[in-house]
Amino acid sequence: MSDITMNTFDNVGKKWTENDIRLLKINYTTNNLSVYNISIILKRTMYGILCKLKSINLINTIENANGYEEYMELREKEKETLNEIKNNILKSDYLENNLSIDELVAKYDLPKKNILKQLFSYNILKEEDKKIYDELITNKENKSEKMYLDIQELKKELLEIKTEIKEFKNAFNQLIGILTKK
């Protein structure tokens, strides 16, 4: 089985250059390399390679690609490895490159709460950022919890009112019955 960790994924998400496409064509048609091997050379995901092969009409369907079976075997491992690399880069940006939360938000184009939750899950939040996390996440969760409890209390009160209305209606109907008999 192939070792997916050989791929650095440096070009994931980047625009395909003319040179990338030329290398893809040569390696797929002339060198007859698999999608996996090309992904390592071009530092992209196997799925990215498959999609590009299809978009430039070198294959009709991704299932017909050279190395599709290998892709199917390795795709989950590839996702895990890619996520691990991305997470390590985020950790490095935060701890070693000392990027602020706002700089991380700008770089990764993610909401502040997502960045904070991720850093919190790694247990690496700096003290000053723990305060932001508490304000943004914990207080929001507390507000959500309080809102949920308030809604439950309102439901309970509405049920009591409904019951009281039924009791009043029954008593009123009994009174009408008594008054109309006489």
- The DSSP code sequence of 56-79 is TTS-SSGGGSTTHHHHHHHHHHHH
What DSSP state is assigned to residue 17?
P
Residue 70 CB neighbour total at 10 angstroms = 17
Q: Is the pLDDT of residue 96 over 80?
A: yes
> What average pLDDT does range 143-170 have in this prediction?
87
Rounded distance between C-alpha atoms, residue 41 and residue 39, angstroms:
6
> What average pLDDT does range 114-137 have in this prediction?
90
Higher-pLDDT residue of 149, 81:
81
Q: Is the pLDDT of residue 139 over 80?
A: no
What DSSP state is assigned to residue 124?
-
Helix (H, G, I), strand (E, B) or coil at 152: helix
> What average pLDDT does range 64-69 have in this prediction?
94
Q: Is the pLDDT of residue 98 over 70?
A: yes
Query: pLDDT (tens digit, 9 = 90+) per residue, 35-66?
Result: 999 999 999 999 999 999 999 999 999 999 99
Residue 31 CB neighbour total at 10 angstroms = 11
- The answer to whether 67 and 45 are in contact (CB under 8 A) is no
pLDDT confidence of residue 135: 82
